[in-house]
Structure 1
Amino acid sequence: MSPQQPAVLEKKPISFSNILLGAGLNLSEVTTLGQPLEVVKTTMAAHRNLSFVSAIKHVWSRGGIFGFYQGLIPWAWIEASTKGAVLLFVSAEAEYQFKVLGLNNFTAGIMGGVTGGVAQAYLTMGFCTCMKTVEITKHKAASAGGVPQSSWGAFKDIYHKEGIRGINKGVNAVAIRQMTNWGSRFGLSRLVEEGIRKVTGKTNPEDRLSALEKIAASAVGGGLSAWNQPIEVIRVEMQSKKEDPNRPKNLTVGKAFKYIYQSNGIKGLYRGVTPRIGLGVWQTVFMVGFGDMAREFIGKLTGEKPAAKH
């Protein structure tokens, strides 16, 4: 009797409909509540003396309702329409390679997500988050006899003065954030799912969670992943255009951490965590809650059956 042959590993196919679905959902999420929560979160991280309510008032003073959408066009839209594709391609390839090395599905999935998160940071999110932060924190008043600097004007100015490094300032902090985001969101969501299964008696792996249960698990996982808020505050400080004579020049992640801690203590490192939790929950509920409807719609458009992960 011949020995049993080991199962052959196969890569998950990357379909056009998955990419289109991810871009569409991300664009919709950021254009609704996503960007307003991002603006409030960044404002609190940059102005660490502001409370949640006073940050909202500050944002409103910078343009009314439009103040909450600073950095949406083009930077948030560029980021939203590209980061999903990067994550999908890189995480799928990385997950496959980790399985080839012998890792189990759970660990390979986490490592694939971490790798995809790092790729997101360095390929698309670095300059997008930098320019969004510049828009949110820069001085809004017009120069003498002039008009406020446009978004593209700020981009050109930074590129002219500091080159590629200038428009990617804080990218290392973004990479650390994305690594920990995807690793913890994946792990925490699965942990909550297991808890829900025990409570509801769905002990068989074949038993499917309801849409509401999946949303609840993902929302809790997304909210709890805000534990890494210090990295986000460091990222904002490195990219901020807020005038601060006490801030050290040529900030690194380490220098930024030291400066924030010395200036504002532990609380300073967690400024903006409330809107960050709200953002994590909203992103998750949006992507999971509307995912099925979006997959069905995209499937009709493309003739493919999308299999995007929540």
Structure 2
Amino acid sequence: MSSQPVELKKKPISFSNILLGAGLNMCEVTTLGQPLEVVKTTMAANRQFTFFQAINHIWSRGGVFGFYQGLIPWAWIEASTKGAVLLFVSAEAEYHFKKLGLNNFGAGIMGGVSGGVAQAYLTMGFCTCMKTVEITKHKSAAAGAKQSSWAAFKEIYNKEGIRGINKGVNAVAIRQMTNWGSRFGFSRLVEEGLRKFTGKTNPDDKLTALEKIFASAIGGGLSAWNQPIEVIRVEMQSKTNDPNRPKDLTVGKAFRYIYQSNGVKGLYRGVTPRIGLGIWQTVFMVGCGDIAREFVGKLTGETPVAKH
């Protein structure tokens, strides 16, 4: 008897998965995520700052609230939408890459890469741009001179249009593409090493929560190798006063300017808080994921199954 080929099916996308992803991302960024993002961006925009100088600078811009610049509305918009974009696009892309003959590992990476690029161009481009504007714009001492987030958005849009509020979007796309590809790959390599070390060689053997956190945290930390593209992204979106900055920055121009001004070290400014951010995201998502999954399952009657 001739065996029938296994029918290839797309992973189903459910409302509960999207709700879980949005909720976890919103909580993650509102707790420690945004403060680490602000420190990372401040160091990348002001490359002469040490870590503690960046902390002092942020504190001087508003105390504790200085660490939450750009949270509302931009970080919340980004957090509540990027998960859905990633799920829809990565599932669709993974399905088509499997149809082309890629195995699960390769199709998974390419699905993640495709989802990351879609995130950048659909939601994260203008959100990261406006977050960076909030973090790096000059704060006037005059009492009535404070510019709201929406006023800053309108001013940039009126002057430069869609391109103005999406400055650095190509750098964001490269960052997201390499982020998802490398995080996925590094995490899987660490998981395989843990399975060999603990004797869990059967695919049905599940890793403990601590083992998952460890593997994903290592993956998140190692994915910071692409910090130069993050520094380039910040430089392209920054409102820090810099008379030497070239006009009409592209990714290439920004790279040359940063390298000529600060050398290789400048391209890795902010890498420490970024590693911390990657680890925090992992710990939060894995640590709170099971609790949130159970809650969302009761709320919607549909248990979420996807990882976020």
- Which bracket does the TM-score occupy, shorter chain normalised? over 0.9
1:208-244 deviations in Å (ceiling 9; x for gaps) = 1111100110011011110000000000000000010
Give the partner amino acid of 1:58: H
Residues 142, 149 of structure 1: 8 Å contact kept: no
Q: CA–CA distance in 2 between the matches of 1:58 and 1:308?
A: 40
Match of 1:80 in 2: 79
Structure 2 matches for 1:166-205, cutoff 5 A? 166-205=164-203
- Corresponding residue number in structure 2 for 1:39: 38
Cα displacement (A) at 1:286: 0.5
SS in 2 for 1:290: helix
- Whole-angstrom CA distance in 1 between matches of 2:48 and 2:106: 40
- Residue 233 (structure 1) aligns with: 231
**How far apart are the structure 1 equivalents of 2:95 and 2:287?**
28
Q: Which residue of 1 aligns with 2:66?
A: 67
**Deviation string, structure 1 residues 154-183 (Cα, Å, up to 9, x no partner):** 000000000000000000000000000000
The one-letter code matched in structure 1 to 2:103 is N
- Deviating runs (4+, > 2 A) in structure 1? none
Query: What does 1:1-310 align with in structure 2 at a 5 Å threshold?
Result: 1=1, 3-142=2-141, 146-310=144-308
Mapped contact 1:219–1:280 kept (Cα < 8 A):
yes
CA distance in 2, matches of 1:139, 1:84: 32
Distance across 2 between alignment mates of 1:303 and 1:72:
31
Aligned partners of 1:146, 1:292: CA distance in 2, in Å?
A: 46
Secondary structure of 2:140's counterpart equals coil
Cα displacement (A) at 1:146: 3.9
Q: Which amino acid aligns with 2:260?
A: Q
Unaligned segments of structure 2, at least 5 residues: none
SS of 2:9's partner is coil
CA distance in 1 between partners of 2:146 and 2:260 (Å): 33
- Deviation of 1:142 (Å): 5.0
TM-score normalized by the length of structure 2: 0.99
Secondary structure, counterpart of 1:208 in structure 2: coil
Q: CA deviation at 1:287?
A: 0.6
CA distance in 2 between partners of 1:107 and 1:157 (Å): 44
Question: Aligned letter for 2:274?
Answer: R
CA distance in 1, matches of 2:201, 2:16: 33
- Structure 2 distance, partners of 1:205, 1:81, is 33
RMSD: 0.9
One-letter amino acid of the counterpart of residue 34, structure 2: Q
Secondary structure at 2:31 match in 1: helix
User: What is the TM-score with the length of structure 1 in the denominator?
Assistant: 0.98
Letter in 2 for 1:102: G
Q: Distance in 2 between matches of 1:204 and 1:81?
A: 36
AA in 2 matched with 1:138? K
Deviation at 1:72, TM superposition (A): 0.1
The count of residues paired between Structure 1 and Structure 2 equals: 308
CA distance in 2, matches of 1:309, 1:150: 36
Q: Which amino acid aligns with 1:249?
A: K
Per-residue displacement from partner, 1:129-171 (whole Å, max 9, x unpaired)? 000000000001156x842111111000000000000000000
Percent identity between the two aligned chains:
85
Unaligned 5+ residue runs, structure 1?
A: none
